A and B are shown apart, each in its own frame.
Chain A
Amino acid sequence: MDIDRRDFLKLLGVGSAVLVLGQGGRAGALDATGGKDDFMFVQMSDSHWGFSNPLINPDATGTLKKAIAAVNSMNVQPDFIVFTGDITHTTDDPKERRKRMSEARDIISGLKVKDIRFLAGEHDAGLDNGEAFQEYFGKTHYTFDYKGVHFIVLDNVSDPTSSITDPQLQWLDGELKKLDKDSRIIVLTHRPLFNLYPSWDWWTRDGAKAIDLLTPYKNVTVLYGHIHQENHHMTGSIPHHAAKGLMFPRPAPGSVPKPVPIPWDASAPYKGLGYRSVASMSTMTDYVITEYPVQKG
């Protein structure tokens, strides 16, 4: 990224909420790389392409496109983009499921940034164990590295019991064993790994096993979707950050009897919908998380 770090942060912060969240640690240390390992990515989540209810979102076919246009117009283009699940809205019809995935993929291809990492949500993968998702978006669990940060994508939706399952946990254990305990690790997943609100299915049945595997590592951050709102939570030294959705917001955990979508507010269109950027600087173990609302127009 050919940009001065001070400008980089300034550009990220324009007109939006900026949070520096993480474990602390190396902040302020001298950076031997001169900032060349700084990078930024965008997290988009829960676009539910195919959802249709004008009382919930009268711009169901336009919201994702607005968000993509907004990302394309960011002053600093992200190095890559992650979609943390529920790209499409569920349907019983396998043919319709594939149609929605094809349409969503075409729309997403309108992003200027072409390095895009996809995760499945239960709406994408919960009715066919991820079969259609893999046809259109690839593997459901994998790793990648970017400028000193190790990314681990966990699938806690393809198994209908909201589980990671033992084979994937064994794979995670094997991946982690390759890393030093002070490696910088970002875990991307759809559901919360911790028990945010199990009565609403806002959990991962065997998520505690994944957290136990991650806990010995000093610099782990978890980013997820599923709950259609921001949420920030710590398990030990691991921060977990939920992202807003791109179709409808959901109520705060336990605030109402059921986690049904919040109806559209005509006085505040797109309220509760948004995406975020996550900036990584080689001098910090924390990440600068900047929230962006979807805006009318």
Chain B
Amino acid sequence: MTNSKRFVVPIVLSMVLVLAGLAAAADQSGTPQVIKITAKRFEYNPNVIKIKTGVPVIFEFTSLDRVHGFTVPDLGGIRQTIEPGKVNRITILAPKAGTYEFRCDLFCGEGHEGMTGKIIVED
């Protein structure tokens, strides 16, 4: 191992510890992570969202065209109406790891049935 490599390892380790500490501080401060999601006929962006088990996350929706819905049937049926011209927020807290489908639950036209996405919850 060269001198530079010996030097790099402790720096990287300390950066990880700092980031972990910041994350812990964020959790302790009670400020949940915010994930911005746009909705338009007939898709969400992003449509695959990763979150952690037991950590509250705010989903912040905006619609780019008309009224849409958001529901996760297997997460207690939580739902949110997404109105154009407004920022619509919902807090997600997944108690268990897994993949949860979400979908638009306000009929929005021909591709409505395909307006779906996934929340991947990891421990």
What is the interface of chain A, defined by CB distance below 8 A to chain B? Answer: 89-92, 122, 126-127, 157, 160-162, 198-201, 205, 257-260
Contact = CB atoms under 8 A, between A and B. Distances in A.
Interface string B88-112: 0000000000000101011111101
B113 A127 contact: no
Interface residues of B, number: 17
Given A161-B69, A162-B105, A201-B103, 9 more contacts: A90-B107, A90-B109, A122-B107, A127-B107, A198-B73, A199-B101, A199-B103, A201-B105, A201-B113
Shortest 10 CB-CB contacts between residues of A and residues of B: A126-B107, A198-B73, A160-B106, A122-B107, A199-B101, A160-B107, A259-B113, A258-B114, A199-B73, A90-B110
23 contacts: A90-B107, A90-B109, A90-B110, A122-B112, A126-B107, A127-B107, A127-B108, A157-B107, A160-B106, A160-B107, A161-B69, A161-B105, A161-B106, A198-B73, A198-B77, A199-B116, A200-B113, A201-B113, A205-B105, A258-B113, A258-B114, A258-B116, A259-B113
A90 B112 CA distance: 10
B123 interface: no
A258 B106 CA distance: 17
A26 B92 CA distance: 51
A198 B116 CA distance: 12
Contacts of B57: none
Nearest to B74: A199
B58 interface: no
Contacts of A122: 107, 112
B109 to A, nearest CB: 6
Nearest to B110: A90
A257 B118 CA distance: 11
Contacts of B108: 127
B70 to A, nearest CB: 12
Contact of A162 (B74, B101, B107, B113): B107
Given A199-B74, A201-B103, A258-B114, A127 B109 contact: yes
Contacts of B112: 122, 201
